[in-house]
Amino acid sequence: GESVGLHLPTLSVQEGDNSIINCAYSNSASDYFIWYKQESGKGPQFIIDIRSNMDKRQGQRVTVLLNKTVKHLSLQIAATQPGDSAVYFCAEIPNAGNMLTFGGGTRLMVKP
Amino acid sequence: GAVVSQHPSRVICKSGTSVKIECRSLDFQATTMFWYRQFPKQSLMLMATSNEGSKATYEQGVEKDKFLINHASLTLSTLTVTSAHPEDSSFYICSARDLQGRVNNSPLHFGNGTRLTVT
């Protein structure tokens, strides 16, 4: 099945706090996952990725956690800033596959 | 800088006319490109996979005769919305597969989308 969602949920955080955005995926054959940030009127922007042989990967201010047992992915943003306000999507690519499937997305709103 | 250029960014057309959207990979060759459609406050839905030199592969429920895809070169794919109707109004986004992962080691790069409004 495909994890596709409607009607984006919203996460509201205070500037400087940490944000955690969650994503559930459905295809156990997926072995590559990507988090994207999408600002209004723009295309998705790559944030960080992780392969299924890892359970954690860190970038600059961002960390992605992968729990294959429960098919769950999370994106942690440290010291959230107003510029982080956007919609965040997780996406998955199945093993040996070519097609990227997007999750439902979460709107992050950062309050100054 | 942008690695995928999508044009136009916005287009308004009258019902019944056709609209062409271009997706170009910059500085890399993309044998595979993807076309997505996004309605307001929703996720991206894959419409079709565009393969250079061969026919596109359409997702279930996407009319191939309405959404014509041409991938005639390794750097250009076009999506033509034929006989557009108001319900075709949406945000169309392309992505190109970069096997060498030139930017962020990412295998996929997205264009900035085209906002289509059919009146």
A4 confidence band (pLDDT: 50, 70, 90) = very low
Chain A interface, Cβ < 8 Å to B: 4-8, 34, 36, 41-46, 49, 89, 93, 98-105
Per-residue pLDDT at B24 exceeds 70:
yes
Interior angle at CA A36, CA A30 and CA A40, nearest 5: 140
Q: Looking at residue A103, what is its pLDDT?
A: 86
The pLDDT score that the predictor gives to residue B1 is 57
Write down the pLDDT at residue A74: 96
User: Which chain A residue has its CA at the smallest distance from B6's CA?
Assistant: A43
Residue in chain A closest to B103 (alpha carbons) equals: A46
Distance from CA of A80 to the nearest CA of B (A): 21
User: Which residues are CB-contacts of A36 (< 8 A; sequence separation ≥ 6)?
Assistant: A44, A45, A46, A47, A88, A89, A90, A91, A102, B110
Given this model, what pLDDT does residue A5 score? 41
pLDDT tens, residue by residue, A16-51 = 999 999 999 888 888 889 999 999 999 999 999 999
User: What pLDDT is stored for residue A43 in this prediction?
Assistant: 93
For residues B112 and A112, what is the distance between their CA atoms, to the nearest angstrom?
27
Radius of gyration of chain A (CA): 13
Residue B105 confidence (pLDDT) = 60
- Going by pLDDT thresholds of 50, 70 and 90, the confidence category of residue A102 is confident
As a whole number of angstroms, the distance between CA A18 and CA A109 comes to 12
- Which residues does chain B have within 8 Å of residue A101's beta carbon, measured at their own beta carbons? 46
All residues at 6 or more sequence positions from A69 whose CB lies less than 8 Å from its CB, including other chains: none
